[in-house]
């Protein structure tokens, strides 16, 4: 939570935190600005003081929505600096840095710089700033960062938003189920009223409209049938006609349009009927899911213990896994899950080799075991999102039913 | 264009180019992968050789869509390296870097690293790599980069896509005009059939559906009325009811859903009638627009000359400008325009202080003068996108009419 920042900064001997980037979506900047990402803005948080947002004068109105104190580049005479160096923005930025250090009275010591931005710029800029301001070394973090730690526990406001997006996502799942169910079969194909095939693209267009009506988006949603389902990150093929009896992996991870908190859910559907082999694998994945959930006993527990339970279960059924066969492209090929928030992938990690993450109150995580056999045209995954609530209980926020077979009514 | 990369690398003494990042949208990576952005992928382009895309094994199917040669982390025994360092990803990445240098036989010399990623990671990683591989210094670029230069001229395939998105955007403008025009007035308010007000939010929802049907998106579109129009980056207020006689700045910059080439257009509309003061400022901005377009004589001309013409024109009418009153928040407060492509803002820049950019064949740029007086409830901007075509002519790709007054028919 944001309240943890001063302590985390102190542990890292930081005199100030700067969160910056460019116009790209920037989740760390959005998070420290109370959910509002102001493109191009820079946040300065000196040790023990509240954060200030610095923007161009054109962004003032948008910046105020963050609730932070707002300053503009004009407050630092940036135009004059730019003129002084004949339009050389790189040198003007260096001058600006010095004025920021002065204005916020940042004591000699490390300045931590975080955010999403141009790698090529910051490789050079960190060197330039080190030369010009040797009393204020610019440092980053590689590995588990203070933002990873602070963002993995959500405050009550964030939980409320996350619950709302979960509820809206559930509505979209129901609407999608009903949409498909309202069609009829011709032979092994699912068809529209006019007899033309219902395609993956048709379904995705339907889902996007449902998301749009709720001001949500999920550009990279997965709706992958048959062999596509066997490749966990295949988004599916838009021209594919929907077929009876084929496993479909449907992974929906919407967030507020333009950036915001995420929900993450996967269901596997087989229209009309399920082949015995698919039904068996589905039952096995559902068992692994339940074993993982049941492995949670209390807050403070290492996160990998849930994955250990899922691995034991699926290896017991004879599936190759990341643990038994590192690098395998068939079987249970991925980790159990991850934290979610403003980013689709946050800490804690539920990978079997990540020993340092624990499950604690305020975490929002996914649990998503799956097995994949593309050459047999099979992929199965089941995923809910969970909150570790204030009482230390692991609670699913994804109520949508986990039925495999989707019967047609049309 | 991509064909320029070897020359640009040679000018910078680069033995190899690496384009990387994380899961965030990454336009440089998308561009070098022929328009397909594979989240988490790393592109390695040794001097004089084609580019190779390195991904996790789970991304193989998606990666192949790029048309590049594809390798996976398994081809570099990454899992074994991770195990060797007990799951420490930072150290494993350092080992991977050495294996990449070896596999691609990258001769001693500079490696240029580019992309959109975690600033805090790359500040530390560039230091770590410098220590471990002193024969291969990691460098970036701050200022006009080789990608800025290469991406500012579009090849024929890119121009075709850009023309198509321009055409689709034109359809959306027409549909939006017709949607508003199909309403009626009650007093000074625009209302729906049931008498309830038509709001900015209603119009934005309409526009989003039109974009969605064309697989386009524009999360941050601007539809700003009255005082909001006076702040160039105000997105507008969703609850605002549309009023007669109020200037509305409508800035639409869609791109293919999930990332892709952009179009950029602004129209200013006043529903029913225009106040004389607004009409006058509109005519002035239209004149400045034409003067800027007419200032273009031939490819090779400095880009700022077009802005000089617009500045001369609007200063002549008595408006404060960025040039006459640096930092002004009223009048002509911004530059004339910018390049567009996979990024909404690319080179060339049409800022009056940027002397080094020229207009050349293959450029796609915006021309967008405007004046802003929020305390008078006025903002006016007119923007088209243009191509400098193969014959060296400046050609608008935004045909939508530039009428100020939008008459109601409902």
Contact assignment for B82 to A58 by CB distance below 8 Å: no
A120 touches chain B (CB under 8 A): yes
Mutation for testing the B interface, residue in A123, A214, A229, A329 having most B CBs under 10 Å:
A123
Nearest beta carbon to residue A142 from set B125, B235, B257? B125
Contact assignment for B258 to A220 by CB distance below 8 Å: yes
Q: Are residues A58 and A129 in the same domain?
A: yes
Which residues of chain B make contact with A121, given a CB cutoff of 8 A? 140-142
Which residues of chain B make contact with A345, given a CB cutoff of 8 A? 23
Instruction: Residue B97: give its domain's CATH number.
Output: 3.40.350.10
Contact assignment for B120 to A126 by CB distance below 8 Å: no
- Is the pLDDT at A230 greater than 90? The verdict is yes
- The distance of A297 to chain B (nearest Cα, Å) reads 25
Q: In whole angstroms, what is the distance from residue A209 CA to residue A144 CA?
A: 37
For chains A and B, count residue pairs whose Cβ atoms are closer than 8 Å. 181
Nearest beta carbon to residue B120 from set A114, A257, A343? A114
Contact between residue B249 and residue B268 where contact means Cβ atoms under 8 Å apart = yes
B237 touches chain A (CB under 8 A): no
Q: In whole angstroms, what is the distance from residue A192 CA to residue A183 CA?
A: 6
Give kind and range of the element (H or E) at residue A14. strand A14-21
SS3 A18: strand
pLDDT at B38: 86
Within 10 angstroms of residue B390's Cβ, the number of other Cβ atoms is 11
pLDDT at A326: 85
Contact assignment for B344 to A21 by CB distance below 8 Å: no
pLDDT at A144: 87
Which residue from A379, A346, A373, A381 is spatially nearest to A362, judged by alpha carbons? A346
Q: In whole angstroms, what is the distance from residue B42 CA to residue B55 CA?
A: 7
Q: In whole angstroms, what is the distance from residue A16 CA to residue A104 CA?
A: 9
Contact assignment for B124 to A142 by CB distance below 8 Å: yes
- Is the pLDDT at B211 greater than 80? The verdict is yes
Residue-wise pLDDT for A77-120, tens only, equals 998 998 889 878 889 999 999 999 999 999 999 999 999 999 99
In this structure, of A15-19, B90-94, B289-293, the range with the lowest mean pLDDT score is: B90-94
Mutation for testing the A interface, residue in B18, B81, B87, B119 having most A CBs under 10 Å:
B119
Q: Quick one: closest CA in B to A75, which residue?
A: B327
Helix, strand, coil % in chain B, rounded to nearest 5: 35, 25, 40
Q: Are residues B143 and B236 in the same domain?
A: no
Which residues of chain A make contact with B219, given a CB cutoff of 8 A? 217, 257-259
Confidence of residue A62 (pLDDT cuts 50, 70, 90): confident
Residue at a domain's end among A150, A180, A204: A150
Residue at a domain's end among A129, A150, A171: A150
CA dihedral sign, ordered A104, A83, A85, B356: positive
Contacts for B352 with CB less than 8 Å, ≥ 6 apart:
B304, B307, B308, B311, B322, B323, B335
Residue-wise pLDDT for A377-406, tens only, equals 999 999 999 999 999 999 999 999 999 999
- Is the pLDDT at B58 greater than 80? The verdict is no
Angle CA B47–B53–B56, to nearest 5: 145
pLDDT at A292: 98
Which residues of chain B make contact with A145, given a CB cutoff of 8 A? 120
Q: Are residues B80 and B180 in the same domain?
A: no
Which residues of chain A make contact with B83, given a CB cutoff of 8 A? 326, 353
Cis geometry, peptide bond prior to residue A300 (ω within 30 degrees of 0): no
Q: Where are the beta strands (DSSP E) in B273-377?
A: 338-339, 346-349, 364-367, 370-373
Contact assignment for B116 to A119 by CB distance below 8 Å: yes
Contact assignment for B62 to A125 by CB distance below 8 Å: no
Instruction: Residue A265: give its domain's CATH number.
Output: 3.90.230.10
- Is the pLDDT at A38 greater than 90? The verdict is no
Q: Quick one: closest CA in A to B86, which residue?
A: A353
- Is the pLDDT at B33 greater than 90? The verdict is yes
Mutation for testing the A interface, residue in B142, B302, B354 having most A CBs under 10 Å:
B142
Q: Which of residues 263-322 of B touch A (CB under 8 A)?
A: none
Contact between residue B288 and residue B308 where contact means Cβ atoms under 8 Å apart = no
Contacts for A57 with CB less than 8 Å, ≥ 6 apart:
A72, A73, A74, B327, B329, B333
User: Where would I find the H helices in A226-336?
Assistant: 276-294, 304-316
- Is the pLDDT at B229 greater than 90? The verdict is yes
What mean pLDDT is predicted for residues A252-259? 91
Confidence of residue A60 (pLDDT cuts 50, 70, 90): confident
SS3 B114: strand
Q: Are residues B121 and B237 in the same domain?
A: no
Strand order in the sheet with B394-396: B346-349, B338-339, B364-367, B384-388, B394-396
Confidence of residue B39 (pLDDT cuts 50, 70, 90): confident
Which residue from A278, A162, A186, A260 is spatially nearest to A218, judged by alpha carbons? A260
Which residues of chain B make contact with A381, given a CB cutoff of 8 A? none
pLDDT at A45: 97
What mean pLDDT is predicted for residues A161-166? 97
Residue-wise pLDDT for B109-142, tens only, equals 999 999 999 999 999 999 999 999 999 999 999 9
Contact assignment for A354 to B87 by CB distance below 8 Å: yes
pLDDT at A299: 96
Q: Which of residues 124-153 of B touch A (CB under 8 A)?
A: 124-126, 128, 138-143, 145, 147
Which residue from B16, B41, B23 is spatially nearest to B117, judged by alpha carbons? B23
- The distance of B341 to chain A (nearest Cα, Å) reads 14
Residue at a domain's end among A150, A177, A201: A150
Which residues of chain B make contact with A209, given a CB cutoff of 8 A? 209, 212
Q: Quick one: closest CA in B to A86, which residue?
A: B353
- Is the pLDDT at A61 greater than 90? The verdict is no
Mean pLDDT value across chain A:
95
Contact assignment for B23 to A344 by CB distance below 8 Å: yes
pLDDT at A372: 98
The parent domain of residue A358 ranges over 153-406
Q: Are residues A121 and A174 in the same domain?
A: no
Which of the 8 DSSP states describes residue B48?
T
Contact assignment for B119 to A113 by CB distance below 8 Å: yes
A258 touches chain B (CB under 8 A): yes
- Is the pLDDT at B410 greater than 80? The verdict is no
- The distance of B252 to chain A (nearest Cα, Å) reads 14
Residue-wise pLDDT for B379-389, tens only, equals 999 999 999 99
Q: Are residues A243 and A190 in the same domain?
A: yes
Q: Are residues B65 and B165 in the same domain?
A: no
Contact between residue B254 and residue B351 where contact means Cβ atoms under 8 Å apart = no
In this structure, of A141-145, A165-169, A196-200, A344-348, the range with the lowest mean pLDDT score is: A141-145
Which residues of chain A make contact with B327, given a CB cutoff of 8 A? 57, 74, 79
Cis geometry, peptide bond prior to residue A348 (ω within 30 degrees of 0): yes
Q: In whole angstroms, what is the distance from residue B256 CA to residue B408 CA?
A: 31
Confidence of residue B288 (pLDDT cuts 50, 70, 90): very high
- Is the pLDDT at A39 greater than 90? The verdict is no
- Is the pLDDT at A231 greater than 90? The verdict is yes
SS3 A128: helix
Q: In whole angstroms, what is the distance from residue B243 CA to residue B272 CA?
A: 9
Q: In whole angstroms, what is the distance from residue A180 CA to residue A193 CA?
A: 12
Contacts for B240 with CB less than 8 Å, ≥ 6 apart:
B199, B200, B225, B226, B228
Mean pLDDT value across chain B:
95
Contact assignment for B231 to A61 by CB distance below 8 Å: yes
B324 touches chain A (CB under 8 A): no
Q: Are residues B187 and B77 in the same domain?
A: no
Nearest beta carbon to residue B61 from set A209, A231, A344? A231
Contact assignment for A217 to B220 by CB distance below 8 Å: no
Q: In whole angstroms, what is the distance from residue A260 CA to residue A255 CA?
A: 5
pLDDT at B102: 97
Contact assignment for A113 to B120 by CB distance below 8 Å: yes
ipTM score above 0.90? no
- Tally of structural domains, chain B: 2
Contact assignment for A119 to B120 by CB distance below 8 Å: no
Q: Are residues A130 and A180 in the same domain?
A: no
Q: Quick one: closest CA in B to A20, which residue?
A: B119
Q: Are residues A203 and A96 in the same domain?
A: no
Which residues of chain A make contact with B258, given a CB cutoff of 8 A? 219-220
Which residues of chain A make contact with B89, given a CB cutoff of 8 A? 143
Q: In whole angstroms, what is the distance from residue A185 CA to residue B78 CA?
A: 46
- Rounded to two decimals, the pTM is 0.87
Beta bridge partners of B388: B394
Q: Quick one: closest CA in A to B259, which residue?
A: A219
Within 10 angstroms of residue B405's Cβ, the number of other Cβ atoms is 14
Residue-wise pLDDT for B132-182, tens only, equals 999 999 999 998 899 999 999 999 999 999 999 999 999 999 999 999 999
Q: Are residues B178 and B207 in the same domain?
A: yes
Q: Where are the beta strands (DSSP E) in A124-231?
A: 138-139, 184-186, 189-191, 216-217, 222-225
In whole angstroms, what separates CA B58 from the centre of its chain? 30
Which residue from B56, B57, B58, B33 is spatially nearest to B43, judged by alpha carbons? B33
Confidence of residue B88 (pLDDT cuts 50, 70, 90): confident
Residue-wise pLDDT for B273-284, tens only, equals 999 999 999 999
Contact assignment for A145 to B334 by CB distance below 8 Å: no
Contact assignment for A90 to B126 by CB distance below 8 Å: no
Contact assignment for A142 to B126 by CB distance below 8 Å: no
Q: Are residues A145 and A157 in the same domain?
A: no
| Backbone dihedral region for residue B383 (phi beyond 0: left; psi -120 to 50: alpha; all else: beta) | beta
Which residue from B137, B358, B228 is spatially nearest to A61, judged by alpha carbons? B228
Contact assignment for B87 to A257 by CB distance below 8 Å: no
Q: Quick one: closest CA in A to B146, which residue?
A: A120
């Amino acid at each position: 939570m944001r309240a943890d920042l001063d302590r985390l900064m102190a542990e890292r001997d930081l005199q100030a935190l700067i969160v910056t980037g460019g116009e790209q979506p920037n989740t760390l900047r959005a998070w420290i600005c109370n959910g509002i990402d102001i493109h191009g803005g820079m946040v300065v948080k000196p040790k023990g003081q509240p954060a200030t947002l610095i923007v161009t004068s054109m962004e003032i109105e948008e910046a105020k929505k963050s609730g932070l104190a707002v300053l503009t580049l004009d407050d630092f005479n940036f135009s004059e600096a730019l003129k002084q160096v004949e339009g050389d923005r790189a040198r003007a930025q260096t001058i600006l840095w010095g004025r920021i250090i002065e204005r916020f009275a940042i004591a000699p010591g490390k300045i931590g710089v975080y955010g999403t931005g141009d790698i090529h710029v910051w490789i050079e800029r960190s060197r330039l700033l080190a030369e010009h301001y040797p009393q204020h070394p610019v440092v980053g973090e590689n590995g588990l960062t203070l933002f990873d730690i602070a963002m993995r526990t959500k405050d009550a406001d964030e939980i409320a938003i996350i619950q709302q997006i979960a509820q809206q996502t559930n509505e979209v799942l129901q609407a999608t189920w009903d949409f498909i169910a309202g069609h009829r079969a011709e032979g092994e194909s699912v068809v529209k009223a006019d007899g033309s095939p219902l395609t993956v693209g048709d379904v995705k267009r339907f889902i996007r409209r449902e998301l749009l009506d709720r001001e949500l988006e999920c550009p990279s949603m997965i709706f992958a049938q048959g062999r596509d389902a066997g490749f966990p990150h295949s988004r599916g093929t838009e021209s594919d006609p929907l077929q009876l009896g084929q496993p479909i992996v449907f992974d929906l991870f919407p967030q507020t349009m333009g950036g915001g908190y995420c929900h993450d859910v996967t269901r596997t559907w087989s229209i009309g009927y399920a082949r015995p082999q698919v039904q068996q694998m589905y039952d096995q994945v559902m068992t692994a899911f339940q074993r993982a959930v049941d492995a949670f006993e209390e807050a403070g527990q290492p996160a990998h213990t849930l994955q250990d339970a899922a691995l034991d279960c699926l290896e017991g059924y004879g599936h190759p896994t990341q643990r038994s066969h590192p690098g395998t492209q068939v079987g249970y090929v991925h980790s159990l899950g991850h934290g979610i928030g403003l980013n689709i992938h946050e800490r804690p990690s539920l990978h079997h080799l990540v020993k340092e993450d624990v499950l604690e109150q305020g975490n929002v995580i996914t649990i998503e075991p799956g097995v994949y056999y593309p050459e047999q045209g099979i992929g199965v995954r089941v995923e809910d999102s969970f909150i570790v609530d204030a009482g230390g209980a692991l609670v699913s926020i994804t109520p949508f039913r986990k039925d495999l077979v989707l019967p047609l009514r049309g």
